[in-house]
Amino acid sequence: MSHAFVYQGLPSRVIFGRGTSAQLATEVDRLGLQRLLILSTPEQTALAERVRGLLGARAAGIFSEATMHTPVDVTERALEVVRSLDADGVVAVGGGSTTGLGKAIALRTDLPQVVLPTTYAGSEMTPILGETQDGRKTTQRGPKIQPEVVVYDVDLTLTLPPTISALSALNAIAHAVEALYAPDGNPIVSLMAEEGVRAIFDALPHVLHEPGNPVARSELLYGAWLCACCLGASSMGLHHKLCHTLGGLFDLPHAQTHAIVLPYALAFNAPTVPQAIERLNRATRSDDALAALMKLEHECSIPLALRDIGMPHEGVARAVEEAMANPYKNPQPVDAEGLRALLESAWAGTGV
């Protein structure tokens, strides 16, 4: 086999394990920070208060208005708080919504970010920020966006309800799947992707039945971390672009859209990416990764059709039009007819 690739490591420090939040103050001291603004969603204010306790005098305040898709008006309110407290860094504790707010602040101020993730969405390992303004979502990449330190504390994930855990973990699998056939993929990313999918497939069924099991939660978070590294390091294809289009057009929930579209997008690309399929077969311990994925999704008791999460049927034509107007790299060339067939199946949930 011949190889030709570019590998760019992303600079971030990762602390992983159970009870690692206890190391937060030490990590903040390593960065020389003294006045941190803690970020959370309104639902996770109690957790933000716990983080304030862990930081002691290093905590300058809490801003707990983080929300999905990083609206710019929320960021502007948070920036006012940053200025009024003279904060010298942010600590984001939560899922992708909270991490997104930290990234949006860092983009505008270059303040260092420490993230304590509590879901499997993976934003903490990427230099990517999606923001919304006036109903439009734009995405950008850049070094200021990448968080400096990520403290993965398995104990913070124990409270994530099983269904949200499943959706979030399937979102993580989607990152790894597309990294396996990315135009800028490389051997390191492929190793991480295969191992990430393996860990999630092994752990998720256990987490569904026993959400408080720390061993299964640890394996799941480990897999999600690997998948997140894949997302940060490679360009995504049809699946991610389509989910972005659908989310924007019909205001569909992020993780649910990913979970529903993934098998159809993978089936679309499968004939052109045999090496990715070979890795996914190994990762899913099966000879048919697509069937294994559908089986796992059924076990998760989640919606399996776009029509069940609010997409109107006439939306299929609109989504095809929009997706065709914004071309992107994908292993299998995307034509309107193929895309329409994919979306019709995903809309009705016919399976692959």
Question: What residues make contact with ligand NAD under the rule CB under 6 A?
Answer: 41, 43-44, 68-69, 94-98, 100, 118-119, 121-123, 126, 128-130, 156-157, 159-160, 164, 168, 231, 254-255
Cβ 274 to ligand NAD, closest distance in Å? Answer: 28
User: Judged by CB, which is closer to ligand NAD: 208, or 277?
Assistant: 208
User: Judged by CB, which is closer to ligand NAD: 97, or 284?
Assistant: 97
Instruction: Provide the CA 310 distance to its chain's centre, in angstroms.
Output: 21
Cβ 144 to ligand NAD, closest distance in Å? Answer: 13
User: Judged by CB, which is closer to ligand NAD: 132, or 284?
Assistant: 132
Q: Would strands 136-141 and 128-133 be described as parallel, antiparallel, or unpaired?
A: antiparallel
Q: Are 179 and 230 in contact (CB under 8 A)?
A: yes
Cβ 231 to ligand NAD, closest distance in Å? Answer: 6
User: Judged by CB, which is closer to ligand NAD: 89, or 95?
Assistant: 95
Cβ 119 to ligand NAD, closest distance in Å? Answer: 3
Distance, in Å, from the CA atom of 177 to the CA atom of 285, rounded to the nearest integer, reads 15
The number of CA neighbours under 13 Å toward the Cβ of 306 is: 29
Distance, in Å, from the CA atom of 93 to the CA atom of 44, rounded to the nearest integer, reads 8
Cα 151–293–122 angle (5° rounding)? 20
User: Judged by CB, which is closer to ligand NAD: 213, or 281?
Assistant: 213
Helix (H, G, I), strand (E, B) or coil at 61: strand
Name residues whose C-beta falls within 8 Å of residue 223's C-beta, 6 or more positions apart in sequence.
120, 169, 172, 195, 196, 197, 198, 199, 200, 202, 203
Cβ 23 to ligand NAD, closest distance in Å? Answer: 19
Cβ 203 to ligand NAD, closest distance in Å? Answer: 15
User: Judged by CB, which is closer to ligand NAD: 115, or 277?
Assistant: 115
Cβ 143 to ligand NAD, closest distance in Å? Answer: 14
Distance, in Å, from the CA atom of 160 to the CA atom of 170, rounded to the nearest integer, reads 14
User: Judged by CB, which is closer to ligand NAD: 88, or 232?
Assistant: 232
Distance, in Å, from the CA atom of 182 to the CA atom of 170, rounded to the nearest integer, reads 18
Q: Are 60 and 83 in contact (CB under 8 A)?
A: no
Cβ 187 to ligand NAD, closest distance in Å? Answer: 22
Nearest position to ligand NAD, beta carbon: 96
User: Judged by CB, which is closer to ligand NAD: 174, or 306?
Assistant: 174
Residue 302: CB atoms within 10 A of its CB come to 18
Cβ 30 to ligand NAD, closest distance in Å? Answer: 24
Distance, in Å, from the CA atom of 78 to the CA atom of 63, rounded to the nearest integer, reads 7
Written as six digits, the tokens of 35 are 């006045």
Q: Which residues pair with 343 in a beta bridge?
A: none
At 281, phi and psi to the nearest 5?
-60, -45
Name residues whose C-beta falls within 8 Å of residue 214's C-beta, 6 or more positions apart in sequence.
18, 154, 155, 158
User: Judged by CB, which is closer to ligand NAD: 9, or 161?
Assistant: 161
User: Judged by CB, which is closer to ligand NAD: 89, or 147?
Assistant: 147
Distance, in Å, from the CA atom of 132 to the CA atom of 141, rounded to the nearest integer, reads 15
Distance from the first to the final alpha carbon of the chain: 31
Cβ 325 to ligand NAD, closest distance in Å? Answer: 21
